[in-house]
Structure 1
Amino acid sequence: MTTYTTLSQPQLAKQSTVDLDLSKLSPLTPEVISRQATINIGTIGHVAHGKSTVVKSLSGVSTIRFEKEKKENKTINLGYANAKIFECDNAKCPRPERFRSAGSSKQDVFPCDRNGCGGQFRLVRHVSFVDCPGHDVYMATMLNGAAIMDAALLLIAANETCPQPQTSEHVAAIGIMKLNSILILQNKIDLVREAQAKEQYQQINNFIKGTNAEDAPVIPISAQQKINTDIICEYITKKIPIPLRDFSSKPRLIVIRSFDVNKPGAEVDNLKGGVVGGSILKGVLKVGQDVEVRPGIVSKDNEGRLRCRPLRSKIVSLYAEQNELAFAVPGGLIGVGTKIDPTLCRADRLVGQVLGEVGTLPEIYTEIQITYFLLRRLVGVRDGGNGGDPRVAKLAKGEMLMINIGSLSTGGRVLGVKDGLAKIQLMNPVCTEISEKVALSRRIDKSFRLIGWGEIRRGTVINSQ
């Protein structure tokens, strides 16, 4: 007889790690979708176009959580929030009203409140929203978020001309990531007249020609007033496919956040280990499982050579927002409670690292050789910076770039360039694989601007302890 792990939230489906058959799991299996999201949808676009507001209107959760973010009323770190999407099972219930969203802890079935309907709202999708900052100086953070996106909502404010600088830059970034499931939201539609909205709609269509978003529909919305959010829910349910997930491989999670959850002055006996947050790329993580984080602690020996000591620990808890899990599957944002020294996890110190089963993670590289492709022109700036040339200059030996690999942002010095290949020395070692995608950015004025992308062909491996 199967026994169930005792978890909180009895209104949600039960989970068990006893006799867990991975071959029978899918992103829509009730015990999976009830407790965790199985698809990551990014919100992208220019600053103040409503990314955080649309996430809150769908999930009920504010992604602006840090004191500095609240003070400046803008997203600085990657925000995240989960939402369940429901569809009424009465075929006569009109669309799009038959779709609605709620928080991640909502029960999976509840009565439809439309007069005379008599149907039941049933859970059809569980989504993690990755809320990216729109300000130009946080482009590296946006690229980290793009590494885990399965789809994207592109926010464009109806009361501004299109495109704005970071609208262009974010669309270029998701093109590099080969992200094709895109929905364009013409937000703040309540602030403009019909003629202005139609004029901007034409600007949007002209802008997206030749991009990954060329075939994306445009939905006029007001995130603040929650106008047409039910259409967003219907589109996510019917038009955005859940990617194929690998449940059987050894688990691997890329870290996009890390925390020390202990409050100042906590007693020693009450201290908890560090928490890492991210998205599982493949495999299944379970409570009680032995794991490691790579590269781990980076140091130098007496001769100045880099050394990496992976952090080994045990999973003591798994959470999807407030939902407790016995196991976690690919897709969605997961919090992993560990026994790692919490000071090592404080203030996102483990961002860019990889968590997985001991002895199964990829090599750690200090140098990489990539095939690369440069954009023809700079995007996200109105000119080349200080009125300079907007064309992207060739890579030069010795120059410093910003390199994004997975969720890692690090400096990289170009050691050599030849025939479409570039050899780059990384300022921070990275746990990655051959064929992994890389985003390249160059400092223009005071900010790093996206200039191209590449793919890892080989590299110099560092031995870990």
Structure 2
Amino acid sequence: MHVVATAGHVDHGKSTLVRALTGMEPDRWEEERRRGLTLDLGFAWTRLPGGADLAFVDVPGHERLVGNMLAGVGPVPAVMFVVAADQGWQRQSEEHLAVLDALDVRHGLLAVTRRDLTDAATAAAVRDDARKRIAATSLGEVPAVTVSGATGEGLDELRAALADLTGALPSPTPAPTCACGSTGSSPSRAAAPSSPAPCAPGPSASATSWPSRTARPSRCAACRR
């Protein structure tokens, strides 16, 4: 499953768009729902045209929550950058784009949201301005879709654009099942290093060296030899 993070200014409709695309609620905390403001990372997933599964990491847009935003976009390979058609480029739009550029994120698309709140000419001008700004960063030229999470306008086009985006991404790396980083497959003895580094504490190591809330990982076949 591929993972895409959202990015963009506060109240530009990131969570509304994820909700419309997935049918899931990305705002996990009662306070977020009461205030209508994303405070922490949210998670949702959907199946795209063609059958591929896609997960979203929905990040907060408020200037005081950049740390949470960094935690969300840091590990992901692609971004859905959101700019509201009725407000255009804003302060956190610029800040989030600078973060993505610093992280060297190279895959993304632009979603111009809240199309229902403005006219077509204004939405097109916002789209062109945002694409020009994004093109000057590591993301380069990105496709753009004008959409409304409230009315559903443009959602099918956005799903198709997301399918194209994820189709161009490298295959997701399997999660390691061993502390040494191995996925658990058993390499041949000929291919194994002569003195593999241990992947877990030896008999003399205390079990308390592992975090108390984390299960002590099992060792893969290569490391048990």
TM-score relative to the length of structure 2: 0.77
Q: Is the CA contact (8 Å cut-off) linking 2:109 and 2:143 kept in structure 1?
A: yes
Q: Does 1:135 align with 2:62?
A: yes
Q: Is the CA contact (8 Å cut-off) linking 1:75 and 1:133 kept in structure 2?
A: yes
SS in 2 for 1:239: helix
SS in 2 for 1:311: coil
- Which of residues 106, 109, 129 in structure 2 aligns to 1:180? 106
Call closer, same or farther: CA 1:310–1:50 in 2, change over 3 Å. same
Q: Please list, as runs of the form range in 1=range in 2, the aligned pairs for 1:373-452 lying within 5 A after superposition.
A: none
Q: Please list, as runs of the form range in 1=range in 2, the aligned pairs for 1:49-60 lying within 5 A after superposition.
A: 49-60=12-23
- Which of residues 204, 210, 222 in structure 2 aligns to 1:310? 210
Q: Is the CA contact (8 Å cut-off) linking 1:246 and 1:283 kept in structure 2?
A: no
CA distance in 2, matches of 1:141, 1:282: 29
Over the matched positions of the two proteins, sequence identity in percent amounts to 24
CA distance in 2, matches of 1:155, 1:215: 15
Deviation >6 Å, runs of 4+: none
CA distance in 2, matches of 1:56, 1:70: 13
Call closer, same or farther: CA 1:77–1:194 in 2, change over 3 Å. same
- Match for residue 77 of structure 1? 40
Q: Please list, as runs of the form range in 1=range in 2, the aligned pairs for 1:25-174 lying within 5 A after superposition.
A: 38-87=1-50, 124-162=51-89, 164-174=90-100
C-alpha deviation, 1:282, in angstroms: 7.2
Deviations 1:62-94 (A, max 9, x none): 11121211221111110001111234xxxxxxx
Q: Does 1:205 align with 2:149?
A: no
CA distance in 1, matches of 2:131, 2:74: 26
C-alpha deviation, 1:190, in angstroms: 1.4
Q: How many residues align?
A: 198
Q: Does 1:225 align with 2:151?
A: yes
C-alpha deviation, 1:173, in angstroms: 1.2
CA distance in 1, matches of 2:215, 2:142: 34
SS in 2 for 1:149: coil
Call closer, same or farther: CA 1:248–1:71 in 2, change over 3 Å. closer
- Letter aligned with residue 79 of structure 2: A
Deviations 1:4-61 (A, max 9, x none): xxxxxxxxxxxxxxxxxxxxxxxxxxxxxxxxxx111101100001110111111101
CA distance in 1, matches of 2:175, 2:139: 33
CA distance in 1, matches of 2:81, 2:12: 9
TM-score relative to the length of structure 1: 0.39
Q: Is the CA contact (8 Å cut-off) linking 2:8 and 2:14 kept in structure 1?
A: yes
Q: Does 1:357 align with 2:205?
A: no
Q: Is the CA contact (8 Å cut-off) linking 1:43 and 1:152 kept in structure 2?
A: yes
SS in 2 for 1:152: strand
C-alpha deviation, 1:184, in angstroms: 0.2
Q: Which has the higher helix share?
A: 2
Call closer, same or farther: CA 1:238–1:199 in 2, change over 3 Å. closer
- Letter aligned with residue 161 of structure 1: G
SS in 2 for 1:166: helix
Structure 2 gaps, min length 5: 185-199, 201-207, 221-225
Q: Is the CA contact (8 Å cut-off) linking 1:184 and 1:218 kept in structure 2?
A: yes
Structure 1 gaps, min length 5: 1-37, 88-123, 253-280, 285-291, 293-307, 313-339, 341-353, 361-465
Q: Does 1:283 align with 2:209?
A: no
Call closer, same or farther: CA 1:209–1:247 in 2, change over 3 Å. closer
Bigger Rg, structure 1 or 2: 1
C-alpha deviation, 1:161, in angstroms: 2.9
Q: Is the CA contact (8 Å cut-off) linking 2:210 and 2:216 kept in structure 1?
A: no
Deviations 1:370-427 (A, max 9, x none): xxxxxxxxxxxxxxxxxxxxxxxxxxxxxxxxxxxxxxxxxxxxxxxxxxxxxxxxxx
Q: Is the CA contact (8 Å cut-off) linking 1:247 and 1:283 kept in structure 2?
A: yes
CA distance in 2, matches of 1:155, 1:131: 11
Q: Is the CA contact (8 Å cut-off) linking 2:84 and 2:113 kept in structure 1?
A: yes
Q: Is the CA contact (8 Å cut-off) linking 2:63 and 2:92 kept in structure 1?
A: yes
